[in-house]
Amino acid sequence: MPIVFLFTPFNQEHIVMRMTFILFTALAVMLIGMTNPVQAGDKEDITALIKQYSELEDANDMATQSQMMTADRTWVGFNGRKTDNAAWMDLQQVNRDNFEKKFPGVEFRREVRNLQIRLMGNVAVATFHWYSNRIIPADLSSEKVKMLGLPAVPATWTQVWTKEGNTWKIAHTHSSPLYSRSN
């Protein structure tokens, strides 16, 4: 008698529903495991990387800074200039080297303010205000100080970071002045 009871239409539906639930649950777990969800500490990692990026900018170490970027990283800046990563990093290094020769001892300390990070799986979007504080040595001639001109206008930066394995890299950077000198 119990065997007949197991194969009644009611129990067959129950078994099908149970198997469907188990299959659905297994698929859901597999899909969750296949995605790369936001990991604990990702925001802290991006914050630390932006700090490192700023420190390398201060040190004029474009070669090391470029290791923080994807090979195809793009940079869009003031006046809409867009360049590929290699060309932009080379140009920056030449400009930095020339600046150091022309204005020896002048240093910059970048300051990140209002940092906001949004994580979406393997992608992070960071937006911040970047202030470039210029430090002029006391022995720099007044003529050279005058040639330096006004300090840089603070900028709003947006960086798109992508996670490759366990490493975050900058895939895109956009920079715009925080305000205009004419304001």
> For position 143, what pLDDT does the model report?
94
For 35-83, where are the alpha helices, taking DSSP H only? Answer: 42-58, 62-66
pTM, to two decimals: 0.71
User: Cα 48–113–47 angle (5° rounding)?
Assistant: 15
C-alpha span between 19 and 25 (Å, rounded): 10
Provide the pLDDT for residue 31.
46
Identify the weakest region by mean pLDDT among 26-35, 68-77, 150-159, 172-181.
26-35
Domain 42-177 sits in CATH at 3.10.450.50
Tens digit of each residue's pLDDT (9 = 90 or more) over 80-98: 766 677 777 788 788 888 9
How is the chain split into domains, by residue range?
2-34, 42-177
pLDDT digits (tens, 9 = 90+) for 7-24: 445 555 555 555 554 544
Tens digit of each residue's pLDDT (9 = 90 or more) over 133-162:
999 999 999 999 999 888 888 999 999 999
Question: Which of the two residues, 31 and 126, has the higher pLDDT score?
Answer: 126
Per-residue model confidence as pLDDT tens digits over 41-60: 999 999 999 999 999 999 98
Non-local (6+) Cβ contacts of 160 within 8 A are 123, 124, 125, 170, 171, 172, 173
